[in-house]
Structure 1
Amino acid sequence: MFDLITNRDSNVKNDVLSGITVALALVPEAVAFAFVAGVEPMIGLYAAFMMGLITSAIGGRPGMISGATGAMAVVMVALVAQHGVQYLFAAVILAGLLQILCGIFKLGKFIRLVPYPVMLGFVNGLAIVIFLAQLGQFKVVNAFGQLEWMQGTMLYWMLGLVALTMAIIYLLPKLTTAVPASLVAIVTVTAMVHGLDLEARTVIDFVRDLLPEAQKATATLAGELPTFAIPMVPFTWETVMIVLPTSIILCLVGLIESLLTLSLIDEMTDTRGRGNKECVGQGVANTVNGFFGGMGGCAMIGQSMININSGGRGRLSGITAALVLLAFILFAAPLIEMIPLAALVGVMFVVVIATFEWASFRIIRGVNKEDAFVLFLVTAVTVIADLAIAVVVGVIVSALVFAWKHARHIEVKSHIDSDDWKVYDLEGPLFFGSVSHFKDLFDIANDPEHVVIDFKESRIWDSSGIDALDTLADKYEQQGKKLHIRHISDECRNLLRKADKFVEINVNEDPRYRVATDKLA
């Protein structure tokens, strides 16, 4: 999959050039997400610089790009609107500290529990979200101050320049891979627009559309270095209670998006990132953001795909992107402001094509309808609601599907042995999902005086299974019948309350395995 990847080898030239390409694509995204969060554009640009620099330097996934993201921005809106930007900085600091703790306690490993269909749904959902976000660039502000779709010559030029950008990115690697095709496409389209004086919207036009009328004339992306400042909030327990809910959500959303993006890049590059180290890197970056006036953020799948597709593999690519972005802010804002939006939209459309998991259609055509349902569900929730919600929903539904399917796998074969004892040979897992069916497998009233349950081909997985076995033993005892339990593990035997006296111990044959129960904690 991901056929647009043309180079898997990391080197300085590829990292530097791909980093420059990423820096160009970071600007409109950071500005847009700053407005989503209700803060000034420079706060979004500062976040993109600091997140990108720190996570690339100390994070667990070389080649992954972090910055201000929409998933984080939508969480911040209510806090900024109610309490102001200083409380946002405090919330970002606390979220960063929580992420550091997640890394220290090695919670990043739990991303491995995300099932493959959920991962596919996450990738497809984000591809659709990235595509829909680019459609906003096809709108302009009319005379009444309202956004409307482009028409006429401007629309035709926009579509043509987008197509040209995509064509260059697709065709240039067939001729040479000396420079990233995305960078060549952006430079070429920018030179064409300004050399021929074409009617095309630029980055600064996009910024002006988002500002109030009084600020449009003086709009600029020029700025200065971010400075250290402790958030101006009361140092009270009340402040903690105000920012804590937002911080927890920011922490979880940031880590989920970052770790899933990490897993995606692992698969694309056939390498292995370090999830716990990435948690610490994201946490340090967000903490620094809060002290230096940034809105925080997490991994950006779109910009990460641009970096990977452009040949960026090492830490230098992300560091270069961050430093070039800072250089634009400090010294070369006019250059970044003149880039046509069509060039950046074309780059992002290529990212959408490369990101979308086209192989997922094979799952849809396959026989596993449950996986197809989970894939569609996660994709839809990602587009409609939020990434974190989509992943949580997908994991829960996958777990329920797994439990339901395995609950039907428990069955029994019975026979009468030479001593006229009835032997139940149990097969399949005994856990919370299968206990109801387990209880219906036995004919207590008509069974002979001696009954044997053989667990040689079965396992008890949780305390619900143990309780079901205790209940069954109690029912046989009430009927005046003797129950014999064979091939049960030492761990389960120690947890039985009523049936322990019925267990036949066979040291050579009895299995050893662990039972998930709080009693053992």
Structure 2
Amino acid sequence: MPAALTAILIVTLISIFGGLQSINVGDFIRDGGGAGLNGLDELSSKLNLAELWSHLPFNLDTLKFIAPYAFLAASVGLIETLMTMNLVDELTDSRGDGNRECIAQGSGNMLSGIFGGTGGCGMIGQTVININAGGRGRLSGVMMAITLLTFILFADKYIEQVPIAALVGVMFMMVIETFAWSSFRIMKKIPMSDAVVLVIVSVVTVIFDLAIAVFVGVIISALSFAWENAKKIRARKRIQADGTKTYEIWGPLFFGSITAFNEKFDIKNDPDNVEIDFVEARISDHSAIEAIFIIVEKYQAEGKTIKLKHLSEDCKILLYKASPKFKDVIVEAINDPRYHLAADPEKFTRPLSEYNV
């Protein structure tokens, strides 16, 4: 007998036979908790579903109105489902298939919508309760759905008598079991940015919900990652025997590090011949390619010759498409094992063991 179900039954029986004045599920839906449903009930009394569809114009304006809400609902559902899957993997020492989960959920929601039903997704709370009750296979999910359908169709009067306090108690225990209390022990050992994300996501989850907290956490983590990597761009400068100045770029080049990248060059005071070596850099996005394009234009506007070395193949293709002048700017014939090792192993002409890398 699952502990959660036992607790609900005992509290319900105490409330009913003990004559306790408590808010049950039926009262919650009809009064306080169902305040948001009153307008829907009033609308349903005036206009049934068939009439609603008959009055809904099927055109592009309707699609534009529905699409943003559909996208948000689908995004939140997919995120929570994938998080639920990861949690199940941790609790059961198994490994789920995210692509399969997404396809199955999308197909099920579309099929439900065709028959006038609502969409759904994997729920962390119910899943944890199911796992703690011993559910492990697909049959547990099927039985949960059948049981819920049975309650709605045949046992709604009995379900309405369940006190809200019983459900709140079960959810409190689920939260206590789900929360990673070990996080408090590592707060001082992890980077400050990670600790901030951990605290903010926890607070947002309590105030709003888990879906919003996931979006907030992803945004803050992405900004933090971009900020940290933006400071890692470096440029080693040296003058060759023929007077050519070489900039050896090191680090990731993307939208966040563009400003630091541009500050490395002294275009007006540089000699007539300049090389930019990207052997230890990685061009990550279109903003980085645009920055390279602008640097080349600035040097050429000063009447100086500039060469680009060790660019990745995809970067060179995009620059060639941007302007034919890069045929003369990009150096293709490079005999450097470091470059071939990173770009194309098939370019080796002798065994790798003979290279000093």
TM range (shorter): 0.7 to 0.9
Q: What's the CA shift for 1:400?
A: 2.0
Q: 1:211 maps to what in 2?
A: 30
Q: 2:331 maps to what in 1?
A: 504
In the alignment, the residues of structure 2 paired with residue 201 and residue 321 of structure 1 have an alpha-carbon distance, to the nearest angstrom, of: 30
TM-score by length of 1: 0.53
User: Which runs of structure 2 are paired with 1:318-397 in the superposition (5 Å)?
Assistant: 318-333=141-156, 335-362=158-185, 364-385=187-208, 387-397=210-220
Q: 1:500 to 1:441 in 2, by over 3 A?
A: farther
Which letter does structure 2 place at the counterpart of 1:198? G
Q: 1:362 to 1:420 in 2, by over 3 A?
A: farther
Q: 1:38 maps to what in 2?
A: none
Q: What's the CA shift for 1:240?
A: 4.9
Q: 2:18 maps to what in 1?
A: 198
Q: What's the CA shift for 1:428?
A: 0.6
**Preserved CA contact (<8 Å) 1:493 1:500:** no
Q: What's the CA shift for 1:321?
A: 1.9
**Preserved CA contact (<8 Å) 2:26 2:161:** no
Which letter does structure 2 place at the counterpart of 1:181? A
**Preserved CA contact (<8 Å) 2:25 2:163:** no
Query: For residues 62-117 of structure 1, what are the alpha-carbon distances to aligned partners after superposition, in whole Å with 9 as ceiling and x for unaligned?
Result: xxxxxxxxxxxxxxxxxxxxxxxxxxxxxxxxxxxxxxxxxxxxxxxxxxxxxxxx
In the alignment, the residues of structure 2 paired with residue 242 and residue 390 of structure 1 have an alpha-carbon distance, to the nearest angstrom, of: 25
Q: 1:437 maps to what in 2?
A: 260
**Preserved CA contact (<8 Å) 1:202 1:337:** no
SS across alignment from 1:457: strand
Q: 2:280 maps to what in 1?
A: 457
Higher relative contact order (CA 8 A, sep 6+): 1
Q: 1:410 maps to what in 2?
A: 233
Asked if 1:267 is matched to 2:90, the reply is: yes
Count of residue pairs the alignment pairs up: 318
In the alignment, the residues of structure 2 paired with residue 371 and residue 326 of structure 1 have an alpha-carbon distance, to the nearest angstrom, of: 42
Q: 1:302 to 1:426 in 2, by over 3 A?
A: same
Ranges in structure 2 where 5+ consecutive residues have no aligned partner: 33-48, 345-357
SS across alignment from 2:180: coil
User: Which runs of structure 2 are paired with 1:419-498 in the superposition (5 Å)?
Assistant: 419-496=242-319, 497=323, 498=325
- From 159, 162, 183, give the equivalent of 2:5: 183
Which letter does structure 2 place at the counterpart of 1:180? P
Same amino acid, percent of matched pairs: 47
**Preserved CA contact (<8 Å) 2:25 2:162:** no
SS across alignment from 1:426: strand
Which letter does structure 1 place at the counterpart of 2:184? F
User: Which runs of structure 2 are paired with 1:162-311 in the superposition (5 Å)?
Assistant: 179-190=1-12, 197-200=17-20, 205-211=24-30, 232-234=52-54, 236-237=57-58, 240=63, 243-290=66-113, 294-311=117-134
Query: For residues 188-234 of structure 1, what are the alpha-carbon distances to aligned partners after superposition, in whole Å with 9 as ceiling and x for unaligned?
Result: 5555666xx4344577x331354269xxxxxxxxxxxxxxx867512
SS across alignment from 1:348: helix
Q: What's the CA shift for 1:304?
A: 1.0
Query: For residues 470-499 of structure 1, what are the alpha-carbon distances to aligned partners after superposition, in whole Å with 9 as ceiling and x for unaligned?
Result: 222233333343323222223322333354
In the alignment, the residues of structure 2 paired with residue 300 and residue 459 of structure 1 have an alpha-carbon distance, to the nearest angstrom, of: 40
Q: 2:350 maps to what in 1?
A: none
Ranges in structure 1 where 5+ consecutive residues have no aligned partner: 1-178, 214-228, 515-521
